[in-house]
Structure 1
Amino acid sequence: MEKDKVPQDQSNLTKNNVKELLYATDENGNYTTTLSTGWEPKTIALSNSIDEINERIADAKQQVLNGEASPIVYFMEINKMDLTILSSYVGFWKWRVKRHFKPSVFATLSDKILQKYADAFEVSINELKNSITK
């Protein structure tokens, strides 16, 4: 793509004045770098991804409020983690973290275990236990 034809479409990146570095050809046909604010297909894909993440967060919050899941599920979604990533952050086997997703099991966790989750989510134990019900 020629440098002067690099897309400069409005995107979620432009809200924060972020530009992406791309390779393009200059007037002599040599490769060079240039900045782009975005292009429509990427903007659509990014927007769809953000919408999906927001839906997952809302679903997780509702599960916690309904007593179907522990707050760990909600904070995991807020922090864009999956079971494998969270397991590595807290240092527990995946099956054990999954077990902590149950509200009845979560209610019996010690402060030592809760602190590991709180550290992973960068919240206090009190926020981990109570912030969703407010």
Structure 2
Amino acid sequence: MKKEEVPQDNSNLSSNNMKELCYATDENGNYTTALSTGWEPKTIALENSIQDINERIEAAKAGVKNGTLSPIVYFMEVHKMDWMTLAGYVGMWTWRVKRHGKPSVFKKMNDKMLAKYAEAFEISVAELKNYKGE
């Protein structure tokens, strides 16, 4: 695309005075860079992703509140992690981290184990232990 054709649609980037670096061709046909505030297809995809993340956070919050999920699942979603990513942060096998997503297992965890999760989520052990989905 030519430098003057780089899209400048309103997006989440433009609301934060941020711009994205794009490659384009100049008047001589040479590659150069140009700044873009966004383009419609990317904005739609980003908004859909954010909506999906927010729905997963709300579902995890409801799961903690009704006792079907541990607070680990909620904070994992808030921090946009999946099981494998969280396992890497806490230095455990993925299957073990998934087990900790069960309220019955979570209640039996000691503070040393909870401290690993609290550090990954940048919260205190007390916040992690006392989160009730509210």
TM-score range, shorter chain: over 0.9
Q: CA offsets, 1:65-98, max 9 Å, x none? A: 0000100000000011111111111111111111
Structure 1 unaligned regions, length at least 5: none
Matches within 5 A, 1:49-60: 49-60=49-60
Q: How far does residue 23 in structure 1 lie from its aligned partner after superposition?
A: 0.8
Q: Structure 1-normalised TM-score? A: 0.96
Q: Which moved more, 1:114-123 or 1:9-18?
A: 9-18
3-state SS of 1:44 partner: helix
Q: Which moved more, 1:41-50 or 1:90-99?
A: 90-99
Q: Structure 2-normalised TM-score? A: 0.96
Match of 2:122, as an amino acid?
A: E
Task: Name 2:25's counterpart in structure 1.
Answer: 25
Q: How far does residue 107 in structure 1 lie from its aligned partner after superposition?
A: 0.8
Contact 2:62/2:133, CA 8 A, preserved across alignment? no
Matches within 5 A, 1:29-68: 29-68=29-68
Structure 2 unaligned regions, length at least 5: none
Q: How far does residue 99 in structure 1 lie from its aligned partner after superposition?
A: 1.0
Q: CA RMSD in A?
A: 1.0
Q: CA offsets, 1:5-47, max 9 Å, x none? A: 1100000111211101111111122111110000000000000
* Moved >6 Å (runs of 4+): none
Matches within 5 A, 1:70-89: 70-89=70-89
Please tell me whether residue 102 in structure 1 is matched to residue 102 in structure 2. Answer: yes
CA–CA separation in structure 2 for the residues paired with 1:131 and 1:35: 43
